[in-house]
């Protein structure tokens, strides 16, 4: 088992290394360099900037100093907002993004899974149809539509729900709904189909034949098996939610990294874009790694990197 964790960790580090290298050379590939603007800067200023950011060094030297920066969690300066570093932006935005992401993940787990189970147990009954219609709508409506509809119909009509920012607990509802909508619906659908699949399994019949109460048959024997594929999805999903809230943060004006990321995209602030990409990727990889380790503790069948779902 220890070997498995070490192997996973090494492969995560290797992936990170590849990402860092790839992004570095992407940055080099930008035509005209990072200081290209619509109104060209005077050449001496560009020269000063180049000197300041070591852009005159040979590529290989730059590469090593960049990699050293990443290894020491220093993602470099912003080229547009002089004086600010990528680290500063992350520090400013991280709490907001995490808070909204956490609420969204809670929404998904607390509503998605139970709704899926209820739907499976009441298969083809009215409640199943209602849940599944909602879930289908949920996976088909993009988050920016959900967010704008929420603002238009709810928070702009009800005065005590804030429209933007995270000033009070109620302000989290909109962003969390918009952020979780797709995954919540997907988890509900996945839980339902997984539960239905498991309920057809022979071992569930064995549990019934052994005279166990229906509560135990479903709550113990069916549930644990039904949740395994759900967890497989939920792992990367949590990572994606915590890192993927660009649009929602922008619409709700939340000071999160997603918003800064979109702003840096619009400003073509290349170092910030790349620094944030590295940061996001690292966060994502670490999250997936953590979830994988947790997962291997739940499913007894996982042995040395062999995953039942693969």
Partner 1 sequence: MRNLDFEFVDSSKKASKEQTRRSLTYWKDAWRRLKKNKLAMIGLVGVTLIILFGVVGPWFMPYSYSDQDNRFTNIPPRFEIYAIADDGYVFLSSQYNLILVSEKGELLDKLVRTNMDAINKVYTYSYNGEDIEVDFKNRLLEDDGGIDLKVTYKGVTSEYPTKTVSNKTFVWGSDNLGRDMLTRVMYGARISLTVAFVATIVNLIIGVTYGAISGLEGGLVDDIMMRIVDVINSIPLVLYVILLMVLIDNRGLWTIIITLGSVYWVGMARLVRGQVLGLKEQEYVLAARTIGVSKAKIISKHLIPNTMGPIIVAMTMMIPSAVFTEAFLSFIGLGVSAPMASWGTLANDALAGLSTYPYQLFTPSLAIAFTMLSFNFLGDGLRSALDPRLRKG
Partner 2 sequence: MSKILEVKNLRTTFFTHLGEVQAVRGISFDLDEGGILGIVGESGSGKSVTSLSIMGLVDDPGRIVEGEILFEGTDLTKLDQREMTKFRGNEISMIFQDPMTSINPAFTVGNQLREVIMAHSDLNKEQAHERALELLRMVGIPDPESRIKNYPYQFSGGMRQRALIAMAIANNPKLLIADEPTTALDVTIQAQILELMRDLKDKIQSSIILITHDLGVISEICDKVIVMYGGMIMEKADINSLFANPQHPYTRGLLLSIPTNVTGKKKRLVPIEGSPPDLMDPPSGCPFSPRCPHAMEICLKKAAPLFKISETQEASCWLHHKDAPEVKGFVKVEGDLS
Cβ nearer to partner 1, comparing 182 with 207: 182
Q: How far is CA 174 from CA 154, 156, 160, in A?
A: 9, 11, 13
Query: Can you tell me the distance from the alpha carbon of 249 to that of 142, in angstroms, rounded to the nearest whole number?
Result: 14
Among residues 199, 4, 190, 3, the alpha carbon closest in space to that of 109 is found at 190
At which residue do the structure tokens 């009070």 appear?
A: 168
Q: Which does 214 bind (CB under 5 to 8 A by kind): partner 1, partner 2, none?
A: partner 2
**Shorter beta-carbon distance to partner 2: residue 207 or 254:** 207
- d(CA 37, CA 41) in angstroms, rounded, equals 7
Of residues 153, 205, 219, 309, which one binds partner 2 by CB under 8 A?
A: 205
Q: In whole angstroms, how far apart are CA 72 and each of 23, 47, 68, 182, 269?
A: 17, 27, 6, 36, 22
Rounded CA separation 199/121 (Å):
9
- State yes or no: residue 151 binds partner 1 (CB under 8 A): yes
Q: Do the beta carbons of residue 55 and residue 33 sit within 8 Å?
A: yes
Is residue 203 within the footprint of partner 2 (CB under 8 A)? yes
Residues 211-270 that bind partner 2 (CB under 8 A): 211-214, 216, 220-221, 224-225, 228
Q: Which of 201, 255, 267, 277 binds partner 2 (CB under 8 A)?
A: 201
Residue 18 in contact with partner 1, rule: CB under 8 A: yes
Given 98, 285, 293, 299, the residue binding partner 1 (CB under 8 A)? 285
Stretch that binds partner 1, among 86-94, 149-157, 194-202, 293-301 (CB under 8 A): 149-157
Q: How far apart are CA 143 and CA 182, in angstroms?
A: 7
Closest by CA to 136, choosing from 144, 124, 128, is 128
Q: Which residues would be at the binding site for partner 2 (CB under 8 A)? A: 200-203, 205-214, 216, 220-221, 224-225, 228, 299-301
Q: Which residues would be at the binding site for partner 1 (CB under 8 A)? A: 11-12, 14-15, 18-19, 23, 26, 29-31, 136-137, 139-142, 144-145, 148-149, 151-152, 156, 239-240, 243-244, 246-247, 250-251, 262, 265-266, 268, 270, 273-274, 277, 280-281, 284-285, 288
């Amino acid at each position: 088992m220890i070997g498995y964790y070490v192997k996973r960790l090494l492969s995560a580090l290797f992936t990170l290394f590849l990402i860092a290298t790839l992004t570095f050379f992407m940055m080099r590939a930008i035509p005209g360099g990072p200081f290209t603007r619509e109104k060209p800067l005077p050449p001496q200023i560009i020269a000063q900037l180049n000197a300041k950011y070591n852009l005159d060094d040979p590529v290989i030297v730059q590469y090593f100093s960049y990699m050293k920066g990443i290894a020491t969690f220093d993602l470099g300066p912003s080229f547009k907002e002089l004086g600010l570093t990528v680290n500063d932006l992350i520090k400013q935005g991280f709490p907001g993004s995490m808070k909204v992401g956490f609420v969204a993940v809670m929404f998904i787990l607390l509503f998605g899974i139970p709704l899926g189970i209820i739907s499976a147990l009441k298969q083809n009954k009215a409640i199943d149809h209602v849940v599944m219609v909602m879930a289908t709508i949920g996976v088909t409506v993009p988050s920016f539509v959900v967010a704008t509809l929420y603002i238009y119909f709810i928070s702009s009509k009800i005065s005590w729900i804030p429209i933007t920012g995270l000033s009070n607990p109620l302000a989290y509802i909109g962003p969390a709904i918009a952020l979780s909508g797709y995954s919540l619906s997907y988890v509900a659908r996945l839980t339902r189909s997984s539960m239905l699949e498991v309920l057809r399994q022979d071992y569930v019949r064995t549990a019934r034949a052994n005279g166990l109460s229906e509560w135990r048959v479903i709550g113990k024997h069916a549930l644990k098996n039904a949740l395994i594929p759900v967890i497989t999805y939920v792992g990367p999903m949590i990572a994606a939610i915590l890192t993927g809230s660009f649009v929602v943060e922008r619409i709700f004006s939340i000071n999160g990294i997603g918003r800064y990321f979109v702003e840096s995209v619009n400003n073509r602030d290349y170092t910030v874009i790349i620094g944030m990409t590295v940061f996001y990727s690292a966060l994502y990889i670490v999250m997936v790694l953590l979830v994988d380790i947790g997962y291997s503790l739940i499913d007894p069948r996982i042995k040395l990197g062999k995953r039942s779902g693969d």
